[in-house]
Amino acid sequence: MNSAGVPARGDTATPCTRRSPSFSPPAGRSSQLGYGRGPNRLLDSPFRETENGVPPDASRDDPARSQPAAPILSGAARRHLRGLAHSRKPHVMIGEGGLSPAVLQALDAALTAHELVKVRLRQPEDKRAAARDLATASGAALCGVVGHTVILYRPDPESPRIELPERS
């Protein structure tokens, strides 16, 4: 070592690792607490910001709207509905055309007939935003997004066929 404390050529120095006292993380990384796998990773989740993952919509209060507002589901009810949807095949497929009036009409017919519907998306840029748009446009509750599949629930107003669990 020379007088400045820098190892001379040929001297063996200890490498700088994450466990060494001289390690400092790259600039800007320490402020990203909501990113990755830590306990704060859900802080940035779009499902945390709003109830049922559907953003507040002014048209919900509009009496001219033809369909009722999306039901408010508890976490246990969403989990129950995801379990029921597991064995079902997707009823509606959304391709490159995206969210068109024909897709919304098919989704409305499927929700009227089945109440619980799986919708398959073809590699959207933002799956969660597409899921929220589908739920808002159809008046259904967003139960979850699994891969490229969105699970939506809209009960029949006269005679609901799916019984939701009561939270005790």
CATH superfamily of 72-153: YhbY-like (3.30.110.60)
Written as six digits, the tokens of 166 are: 């009561």
Q: How far apart are CA 46 and CA 129, in angstroms?
A: 8
Average pLDDT of the segment spanning 123-148: 90
Residue 95 has pLDDT above 70, yes or no: yes
- Going 47 to 52 to 54 to 55, the CA torsion angle's sign is negative
Q: Are 151 and 118 in contact (CB under 8 A)?
A: yes
- Please report the DSSP string for 1-70 in residue order: --TTSPPPTT-------TTSTT--PPTTSTT-TTSSSSTTGGGG-HHHHSGGGPPP-GGGG-TT-SSPPP
Residue 49 has pLDDT above 80, yes or no: no
Locate the domains of the chain by residue range: 72-153
What is the per-residue pLDDT for 166?
A: 79
Single out the residue of 68, 47, 51, 48 nearest to residue 59, CA to CA.
68
What is the per-residue pLDDT for 159?
A: 82
Q: How far apart are CA 22 and CA 60, in angstroms?
A: 56
What is the per-residue pLDDT for 73?
A: 86
User: Minimum mean pLDDT among 44-58, 102-116, 133-147, 154-168: which range?
Assistant: 44-58
User: Minimum mean pLDDT among 65-69, 88-92, 101-105, 118-122: which range?
Assistant: 65-69
What is the per-residue pLDDT for 47?
A: 44
Report the amino acid identity of residue 70: A
Backbone angles phi, psi at 142, to 5 degrees: -85, 115
What is the per-residue pLDDT for 31?
A: 44
pLDDT digits (tens, 9 = 90+) for 104-120: 999 999 999 999 999 99
Q: How far apart are CA 141 and CA 72, in angstroms?
A: 7
Whole-number mean pLDDT of the chain? Answer: 74
Q: How far apart are CA 56 and CA 90, in angstroms?
A: 27
Average pLDDT of the segment spanning 132-136: 92
Q: Are 153 and 73 in contact (CB under 8 A)?
A: yes
